[in-house]
Structure 1
Amino acid sequence: MKILTLNTHAWAEEDQLNKISQLADFINTHQFDVISMQEVNQSIQEAALSAEELKHYFATESDAVIKKDNYAYVLLTQLTETYYWTWIPAHVGFSKYDEGLAILSRTPITQAFGEYVSHMRDYDNYRTRKIVGVQTELQGEATWFVNGHYNWWDDEQEPFKGQWELTESKLAPYMDQPLYLMGDFNNVAEVRGEGYDYMMSKGWNDLYTTAVQKDDGATVVKAIAGWADNKRDLRIDYIFSNRPVQAKSSTVVLNGKNGPVVSDHYGVAVEI
């Protein structure tokens, strides 16, 4: 099983269409089973897609309208394999986009959920955060894949700890099955006593830590939005499991070495 997670920084990149094509080529080469993407944007003013164009889309939220420039949809049109997918909006991004979360799966989605993990529900405030989860059958077993994009540990209005407590409660009904939780957590693995340690104290298995083969794991290596003063390499994008799983490998990808740079984050690819 191959899993990819990437914060796409959708429609905020220079040469964006070419970068989507580069990402599509990378996915076509590696044929990931599940792909989790954050900052998946679509223009608020864009026209909606037709039902025919959404035949492999699973409606997690019945009122979510998928627009013609939805980043995940544009990417999907360039993939050689059929992917089943879902997307939910979380908040307004860059004042003109519906910013949301997408999951792509090579096997059909059988169930899905979307949940708030912020106490805030203001669609116009970027601190409003959600998770999206899909269930699919892999290797004969029903498995959950959950995608999230979180706030910072010390955010004054919506600190990470409260969002993680909500995450734990929202995931409780699904924990009797294998579950993988991934995304952009905005909490640095090397910083003690903050978000990463708090997550690990809850019993999650970091697939990077347990992988047989791995690299330095850093997915942000410059100053970016949310890390404006950053001058070091950060490991803030993770793939966790709720059960003890040892990955064959955990690799930073889409970093100019293992695939082209397509976002302000690098991706994480895990093979189990």
Structure 2
Amino acid sequence: MKVLTLNTHSWMEERPLEKLQQLVKQILEDDYDLIALQEVNQRIDSQQVIDPPNFHPTNDQFAVHEDNFAYLLVQQLAEQHATYHWSWAYNHIGYDLYHEGVALLSKQPIKPEAALVSKEQNPADYRRRVVLLGQTSVGELPVTAASCHYSWWTETGGFAYEWQQTEAILKHCPSPLIIMGDFNNPASAAETGYELVCNSSLHLQDSFLSAKKRTGEFTVEKAIDGWGENQEKLRIDYIFTSPELSIDHYQILFDGKQTPIISDHFGVAVTVDQKN
């Protein structure tokens, strides 16, 4: 199976429609089975879409608007005869203009759940965080996928609390797990969020460390939103999986090398096999 995660930065990017097309092109070329996206935004004042195609709502679904980044992405893929089932969960207000959320795309139908994992519950507060879980299949293999966009370690009631809540929920989900997204915690920082995930009772593996082949490593290489003072190369976007999955290839995308830069984060793609 092929899996991709990307913090899209969607409508905050310059020339966003051009970059949306570049994302479509890459998805068509590599034919991903499962995709997790973060910072999937829509304008607060745009029109609601009624019954978007191949959309799987959560129990308390927030309305999808006509400029929802994932909605437009799925539409453009469908125009190229690539059908994806999808779900989107609202997190909070972003930049005073947008409903910001996370999305999952799968070639197979999705049974989604939007799980509030933050202490903050105010839908306008940037500290409100929701993990989008999806029961789906890759080929004949049932999986539990998650698209995540967590708070920083330094935030009061931030990552440590959010991961604790996530972990409690995932303990009751069927394996294998594929947990993807922007964790806002660098792999280089000892005894912080990254270590908390690696030492989890879920026994997750970091696809970068487990991969038989690696192409690239870091997902942020400059100062970006939320990391305004950063001068280092950071790995803060991850694909964690259950250990029964074998990671063949870990690859950084949208870094300006083989693929264009389309966000303030680079993407992570992995090729995964089920161990015999």
Deviation at 1:177, TM superposition (A): 2.1
**Which residue does 2:167 correspond to in 1?**
168
Q: 1:194 aligns to what? A: 192
- The corresponding residue for 2:236 is 236
Equivalent-residue separation in structure 2 for 1:141 and 1:26 (angstroms): 24
AA at the equivalent of 1:58: H
2:157 matched to which residue of 1? 158
Instruction: Tell me, yes or no, if the aligned pair for 1:181 and 1:240 is still in contact at 8 Å.
Output: yes
Task: Please list every run of 5 or more consecutive structure 1 residues that lacks an aligned counterpart in the other structure.
Answer: none
Q: Which range moves more in the overlay, 91-100 or 253-262? A: 253-262
Query: In structure 2, the residue corresponding to 1:271 is in which secondary structure?
Result: strand
Task: Tell me by how many angstroms 1:112 deviates.
Answer: 1.4
Native 8 Å contact 2:121 2:128 kept in 1: yes
Q: How does 1:56-75 map to 2 (within 5 A)?
A: 56-75=54-73
> RMSD of aligned C-alpha atoms?
1.1
The percent identity for this pair of structures is 37
For the residues of structure 2 that align with 1:3 and 1:228, how far apart are their CA atoms? 29
Relative to the length of structure 2, the TM-score reads 0.94
Q: CA deviation at 1:63?
A: 3.5
| Deviates further, 252-261 or 4-13 | 252-261
Equivalent position amino acid for 1:97 in 2: Y
CA deviation map 1:7-54 (0-9, x unaligned): 000100001111111111111111100110000000111011132xx1
Give 5+ residue unaligned stretches, structure 2: none
Relative to structure 1, the CA distance from residue 244 to residue 141 in structure 2 (aligned partners, 3 Å threshold; closer, same or farther) is closer
Contact in 2 for aligned 1:93/1:99 (Cα 8 Å)? yes
Deviations 1:168-217 (A, max 9, x none): 1121210x421110100000001111111111111211111100111341
Aligned residue for 1:108, secondary structure, equals coil
- Return the alpha-carbon distance in structure 2 between the equivalents of residues 163 and 47 of structure 1: 32
1:128 aligns with 2:128: yes
**Helix, strand or coil at the partner of 1:164:** helix
Q: Is the 8 A contact 1:61 1:88 kept in 2?
A: no
In structure 1, distance between residues paired with 2:26 and 2:98: 26
Q: Supply the distance in 1 between the matched residues of 2:271 and 2:48 (Cα, whole angstroms).
A: 35
Shift of 1:244: 3.7
**1:70 Cα deviation after fit:** 0.2
> In 2, distance between residues paired with 1:83 and 1:35?
10
Aligned to 2:32, the other structure's residue is in SS state coil
